[in-house]
């Protein structure tokens, strides 16, 4: 980055800032990521690169969402959406719409999130993006669960599960099994929940995804605790603590 700046190479400086910001976001160094995305954004505007400007706005918006800055996130995403529409980039437009749905979901505006996701789902299908449609189905399951509609939640989660299996995404398959287990746990169907958590464990073991494994173990522990078996819950709680200390 310093070398590009010293050489006055503005494009390469912007590329480096974007790459650094993406890495910082993945490492959950979110304030630093936001600063670097903003610097990259200013350069893309200076260089009149609307596609890269839109991409950076999208990433900035999602970074803001992770820090709970909902309005700032919405401003960035809506600006990105406007640019994608002007550029005629249909997939990126729908993807950004889906990110706006996510903002509604995490801010608790569940009816708005539901309507938003229902609008984006057929658009992904029309464009032929099965994985993105599966993500929307998974999100719809979460929204319906939050609205207290477990039957609708299960319907959408199970549709998502079929799609993940079709495309061979084992990590998302495990995530969705975990989500389905949570719904069954909420319904008091403890054994079915544990069976699903067990299926997720078999998938996760070779993948080594610690954050998702911690979430799964946490759900297992709560299931046993609610079943009145604290002696079986305790080892899972201890393993969760260990995994979270490591990550």
pLDDT tens digit sequence for 121-150: 999 999 999 999 999 999 999 999 999 999
Other C-beta atoms closer than 10 Å to the C-beta of 190 total 18
User: So what's the pLDDT on residue 225?
Assistant: 87
DSSP classification of residue 89: -
Using DSSP, state whether 189 is helix, strand or coil. Answer: coil
pLDDT tens digit sequence for 196-220: 999 999 999 888 888 888 898 888 9
Stretch among 28-32, 70-74, 184-188, 221-225 having the lowest mean pLDDT? 221-225
Q: Which residues of 33-64 are buried (b: 16+ CB within 10 A; e: fewer)?
A: bbbbbebbbebbeeeeeeebbbbbbbbbbbbb
Closest to 20 in 3D by CA, of 32, 4, 3: 32
Phi, psi of 12 (to 5 degrees): -70, -30
Residue 1 has pLDDT above 70, yes or no: no
User: So what's the pLDDT on residue 247?
Assistant: 61
pLDDT tens digit sequence for 233-245: 888 878 878 877 7
């Amino acid at each position: 980055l310093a070398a590009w700046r010293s050489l006055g190479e503005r494009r390469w400086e912007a590329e480096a800032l974007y790459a650094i910001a993406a890495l910082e976001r993945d490492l959950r160094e979110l304030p630093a990521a936001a600063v670097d995305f903003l610097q990259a954004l200013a350069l893309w505007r200076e260089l009149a690169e609307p596609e890269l400007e839109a991409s950076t706005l999208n990433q900035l918006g999602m970074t803001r969402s992770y820090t709970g800055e909902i309005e700032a996130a919405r401003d960035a995403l809506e600006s990105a959406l406007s640019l994608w529409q002007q550029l005629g980039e249909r997939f990126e437009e729908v993807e950004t719409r889906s990110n706006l749905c996510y903002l509604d979901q995490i801010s608790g505006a569940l009816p708005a999130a539901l309507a938003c996701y229902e609008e984006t789902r057929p658009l992904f299908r029309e464009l032929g993006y099965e994985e993105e449609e599966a993500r929307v189905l998974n999100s719809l399951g979460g929204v319906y669960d939050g609205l207290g509609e477990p039957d609708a939640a299960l319907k959408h989660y199970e549709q998502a599960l079929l799609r993940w299996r079709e495309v061979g995404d084992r990590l998302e398959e495990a995530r969705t099994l975990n989500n389905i287990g949570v719904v069954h746990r909420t319904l008091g169907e403890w054994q079915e929940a544990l069976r699903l958590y067990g299926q997720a464990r078999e998938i996760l073991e070779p993948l080594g995804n610690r954050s998702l494994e911690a979430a799964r173990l946490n759900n297992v522990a709560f299931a046993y605790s609610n079943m009145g078996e604290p002696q079986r819950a305790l080892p899972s709680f201890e393993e969760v603590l260990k995994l979270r200390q490591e990550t």
